[in-house]
Every structure is written in structure tokens, then in C-alpha cells.
């Protein structure tokens, strides 16, 4: 298994970063694989994958680059630069475009585990990769980036609360399949037989993405390491935020949207992040739903979680027969 040695100083410097470039790369991986993690992803793939497949059929060199660079065992390093907090997508993709051609080819060779196909022995690989990511961003990510950003920020809020309740080890132990806190300063990052790395004094970044089947690590030795992980599935599933029309007519779209989300317990901060409503508005909706007996609350450490009661479940199910609309 691959593991990192992470001491107390490194944990103390750890922080979360939302990266539009990493979100776009994860979406490219999703488009490439075509395997959805939940109904919302399936709908997104149905909308965007046909155009992606046509693009790949028309550009076999870029298709070969994607197949080689997003390998099953390893991503080509030049495609996954360690994110920088506050960097825009345009600034992030410029780092990929600026990669040296020989570095790009070497990274691809590692990803494929052997010599590169002759068609990839060229100097414009960084430009081809950047152009493809720009297209995925423009057509499939940027149109709903604000929603995605709210989902990612809601995940960060939830994980930060976990840190305050149980420490970093609790968060790291549950980030993604294959990642575990082993104790004795050891963080298992995956199940592959990679040599350990010592991160003393380095900065560890935790980077959420919405696609549910992906995640990776990257580093800029010796100062910065990143662990990219899928955010909580309930937050990421856009289908879970669709409000049945009848329920929206009964409660109002915003309040019905809150009730529809609470099939899984969520905190007020998570609801604010996912819905885009203000804290005061979410609080008022929760009070009305509590008074009506449609939701209940319970304390989990320092957080208060809300979820639907049996009456709330019946109401949502009864209202689900009509067509829905996004909240």
C-alpha cells in the first residue's frame, strides 16, 4: 500500500482548497470512463458525453493523450499540478499549458507503465491537454460552477466541523476508499504498492471534487502535497436537490427544497452551501418544518443535524409523483 508519514506539524498546516481545475479534470475523467456514481451524474453524462465522444473520435491524438494520461494506476503528473488556493480555472490551466514537452512525455510514460505510442512523441502535448480541459470547463463545468462551488464549500464546512470534533485523524480516515489513518503518523493514501513518502514540514492540501468515483494525489516536492477526494455523495447528487412540483406548490420551492434534501441528516451550514440560500432563510425554513413535525434535529458533537421525520418522508413521497424542477 502507499502511505505518507505525516507528523503533527504537517497536520497543523493542513487545509482545504477548492480548485476549479481539479473539478474540471475530475469531470474529464468521468467523461472518459462514462461510469456514473449516482443518478445526477448519470443525467450529466447523458447530456455531455455524446459531444465528448464525438470530439475524441475527431481528434485521435488527443483521445490517445487522455487514455494515456488518465491511466487506471496513475495520472500523468503534468495534468495534476498541486492546486493553489484562490487560483482561477484560467490560471490553473495555464500551468498545464506551460509544462515542458519532455516533462509531459515522461509523465505519460510513467502513467502508461512503458514506452509511449509513437503518436504521442510530439511537443504540443501540454497545449492539447490544456485545450481539451478548456473545452470541458466551458461546456460542462462552468455553466453550473456556482452550484458545484457551493457543494464543495459545504463539504469543506462539514469536514472542518469533523476536525473540531475528532481531530484530523478522524477526517483523513474517511476521505475516500483506500485512504486510512494508520496511526504512528502514517496516512495510507491508496492500496497500491508505492514507496512511502515523508512529509515533515510540508503543506498538506485536501481538495474536494463532486464526481464520486475519482480521487488522486499530487505533489510538488518537498513543500506541497495534495489529496483530491470525492465530496459527500448526498451533497454532490444534483438529483437529490430536485423538488417535486406538487411539494413546491404546497410549501414553496425554497422550503420544499430544504425538506427534499433532508433524506440524509445535514447541518444548517451544509444546507446553506448546497441551496445557496442565506443562513437566515434556511433557519426560518427549518423552524417552520420543525413546528410542522416534518423534520427533527439531533446533536452530533458540536453540530446540530436535521433530517426528515416519518411525516416528512410521507409528504415528500406523496409529492414525488409529479414532475420535478431544480430548486
Q: What is the residue-averaged pLDDT of the chain?
A: 87
Number of H helices, E strands in the chain: 15, 13
* pLDDT at 235 (0 to 100): 55
- Residues 110 and 121 reside in one and the same domain: yes
Give the number of other Cβ atoms within 10 Å of residue 281's Cβ: 16
pTM of the full predicted structure? 0.79
The last residue of one of the domains, among 230, 247, 275, is: 230
3-state SS assignment for residue 211: coil
- Residues 51 and 106 reside in one and the same domain: yes
Question: Residue 176 corresponds to which cell in the numbers above?
Answer: 475516500
Across the chain, the runs of DSSP E, i.e. the strands, are 2-5, 15-16, 180-183, 186-190, 197-198, 203-209, 216-220, 224-230, 242-244, 266-267, 295-300, 303-308, 324-326
- Residues 195 and 299 reside in one and the same domain: no
Q: Is the dihedral of CA 102, 104, 105, 107 positive or negative?
A: positive
**8-18 pLDDT per residue, tens:** 888 888 999 99
Query: Chain centroid to CA 285: how far?
Result: 28
Q: ∠ at Cα 247 (242, 253), nearest 5°? A: 65
**293-308 pLDDT per residue, tens:** 999 998 765 668 888 9
Place of cell 445535514: 266
Domains identified in the chain, total number: 3
- Residues 11 and 152 reside in one and the same domain: yes
- Residues 33 and 140 reside in one and the same domain: yes
Query: Chain centroid to CA 60: how far?
Result: 28
Question: Residue 102 corresponds to which cell in the numbers above?
Answer: 519532455
The last residue of one of the domains, among 118, 146, 174, is: 146
The answer, yes or no, to whether residue 289 has pLDDT greater than 60, is yes
Question: Residue 311 corresponds to which cell in the numbers above?
Answer: 411525516
- Residues 264 and 298 reside in one and the same domain: yes
- Residues 112 and 127 reside in one and the same domain: yes
Give the domain range for residue 221.
2-17+148-230
Which of 309, 255, 303, 307 has its CA nearest to residue 283? Answer: 255
- Burial tier of 160 (Cβ tally within 10 Å: 0-12, 13-18, 19+): middle
Residue 151 DSSP symbol: H
Question: Residue 220 corresponds to which cell in the numbers above?
Answer: 510538488
Q: Are 83 and 17 in contact (CB under 8 A)?
A: yes
Question: Residue 302 corresponds to which cell in the numbers above?
Answer: 458540536
Which of 84-93, 141-150, 316-325 bottoms out in mean pLDDT, i.e. has the lowest? 316-325
Q: Which CATH number does the domain housing residue 317 bear?
A: 1.10.10.10
- Residues 160 and 304 reside in one and the same domain: no
The last residue of one of the domains, among 146, 163, 180, is: 146
Amino acid at each position: 500500500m502507499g502511505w505518507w508519514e505525516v507528523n503533527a506539524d504537517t497536520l497543523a498546516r493542513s487545509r482545504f482548497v477548492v480548485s476549479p481545475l481539479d473539478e474540471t479534470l475530475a469531470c474529464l475523467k468521468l467523461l472518459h470512463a462514462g461510469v456514473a456514481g449516482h443518478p445526477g451524474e448519470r443525467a450529466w453524462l447523458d447530456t455531455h458525453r455524446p459531444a465528448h465522444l464525438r470530439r475524441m473520435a475527431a481528434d485521435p491524438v488527443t483521445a490517445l493523450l487522455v487514455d494515456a494520461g488518465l491511466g487506471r494506476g496513475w495520472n500523468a503528473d503534468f495534468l495534476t499540478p498541486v492546486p493553489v488556493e484562490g487560483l482561477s480555472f484560467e490560471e490553473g490551466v495555464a500551468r498545464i499549458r506551460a509544462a515542458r514537452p519532455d516533462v509531459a512525455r515522461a509523465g505519460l510514460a510513467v502513467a502508461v507503465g512503458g514506452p509511449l505510442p509513437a503518436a504521442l512523441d510530439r511537443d504540443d502535448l501540454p497545449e492539447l491537454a490544456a485545450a481539451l480541459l478548456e473545452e470541458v470547463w466551458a461546456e460542462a463545468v462552468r455553466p453550473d460552477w456556482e452550484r458545484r462551488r457551493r457543494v464543495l464549500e459545504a463539504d469543506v464546512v462539514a469536514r472542518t466541523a469533523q476536525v473540531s470534533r475528532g481531530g484530523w485523524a478522524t477526517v483523513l480516515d474517511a476521505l475516500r476508499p483506500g485512504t486510512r489513518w494508520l496511526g504512528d503518523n502514517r496516512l495510507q493514501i491508496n492500496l497500491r504498492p508505492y514507496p512511502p513518502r515523508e512529509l515533515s514540514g510540508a503543506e498538506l492540501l485536501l481538495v474536494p471534487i463532486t464526481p464520486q468515483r475519482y480521487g488522486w494525489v499530487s505533489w510538488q516536492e518537498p513543500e506541497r502535497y495534495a489529496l483530491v477526494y470525492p465530496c459527500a455523495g448526498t451533497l454532490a447528487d444534483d438529483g437529490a436537490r430536485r423538488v417535486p412540483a406538487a411539494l413546491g406548490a404546497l410549501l414553496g420551492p425554497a422550503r420544499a427544497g430544504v425538506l427534499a434534501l433532508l433524506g440524509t441528516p445535514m447541518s444548517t451550514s451544509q444546507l446553506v452551501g448546497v441551496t445557496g440560500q442565506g443562513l437566515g432563510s434556511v433557519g426560518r425554513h427549518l423552524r417552520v418544518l420543525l413546528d410542522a413535525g416534518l423534520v427533527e434535529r439531533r446533536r452530533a458533537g458540536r453540530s446540530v443535524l436535521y433530517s426528515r421525520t416519518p411525516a416528512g418522508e410521507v409528504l415528500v413521497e406523496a409529492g414525488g409523483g409529479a414532475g420535478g424542477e431544480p430548486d
